[in-house]
Every structure is written in structure tokens, then in C-alpha cells.
């Protein structure tokens, strides 16, 4: 059975590498450096989940989330915002724009896996 595919969109290389290290045994990982790349990749490939930073260049995570949730082709993909900004306002805004979950950096490997398991239903 093929591994489920997760897109990690974060402008910080070390965060993408950390998440890859935690998840790459169980999932196929694709990386994007900004929201623009995340939207492009999501339209070209099928993902089971997107982990997205909020503050990124070119297109921020909130705008990318809004675009993906507003597109019939990508609207069903669960999006979990992964951010260093833990403000309640950002949480609310993320939810209003369609984000399915929210993880604040720093996070533990267990916390990340638990959150992902909430959104990915293994067949």
C-alpha cells in the first residue's frame, strides 16, 4: 500500500527538515518554501494533508489556505497551520479561512504525529 502524502509548506528549511525527520518513515513528504509553491503543488499532486506555516514570503499561509479551500479541486484536503504565532486571533482567522487544525511551534514529535493522525484516516 502506498504511503499517504503530506505537503509541508514552511519558509524555514530547518523546520521542513525537522518535520520530514519526524514523518518520513510513515508518509511520503513533499516540501514547499512558500504559499505560492504550496498552492501550485496542491493543484498538481494529490495530498492527504497539508502542514502550512502562516508567515511565509510571496503568499502567506492564511492566503494560501483560503485559496486551497476555495478551489473545488483542493478544498477537501485537510490543512493544519503550523506556526510560531500562537495568538487566539490567528487561530480564529485560520479556522474562518478553512484551516482544519493548528499546531504552535515549538512542538514535540509526539504532538505532531498525534495531530496528523487526527486528520489522516488510515485505510
pTM higher than 0.85:
yes
Q: In this predicted model, what pLDDT tens digit does every residue of 63-76 receive, in sequence order?
A: 999 999 999 999 99
Q: In this predicted model, what pLDDT tens digit does every residue of 60-111 receive, in sequence order?
A: 999 999 999 999 999 999 999 988 766 776 777 777 888 998 888 888 999 9
Q: In this predicted model, what pLDDT tens digit does every residue of 19-49 receive, in sequence order?
A: 999 999 999 999 999 999 999 999 999 999 9
Domains of the chain: 4-119 (3.40.50.2300)
Question: 93-100: long-range contacts (C-beta < 8 A, 24 or more apart)?
Answer: 93/62, 94/54, 94/62, 94/65, 97/62, 97/65, 97/66, 97/69, 98/65, 98/66, 98/68, 98/69, 98/70, 99/52, 99/65
Amino acid at each position: 500500500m502506498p504511503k499517504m502524502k503530506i505537503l509541508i509548506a514552511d519558509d524555514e528549511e530547518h523546520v521542513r527538515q525537522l518535520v520530514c525527520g519526524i514523518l518520513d518513515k510513515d508518509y511520503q513528504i513533499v516540501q514547499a518554501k512558500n504559499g505560492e509553491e504550496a498552492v501550485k503543488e496542491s493543484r498538481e499532486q494529490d495530498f492527504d494533508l497539508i502542514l502550512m506555516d502562516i508567515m511565509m514570503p510571496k503568499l502567506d499561509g492564511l492566503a494560501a489556505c483560503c485559496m486551497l479551500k476555495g478551489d473545488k479541486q483542493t478544498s477537501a484536503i485537510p490543512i493544519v497551520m503550523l506556526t510560531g504565532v500562537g495568538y487566539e486571533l490567528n487561530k480564529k482567522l485560520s479556522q474562518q479561512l478553512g484551516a482544519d487544525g493548528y499546531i504552535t511551534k515549538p512542538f514535540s514529535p509526539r504532538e505532531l504525529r498525534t495531530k496528523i493522525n487526527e486528520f489522516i484516516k488510515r485505510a
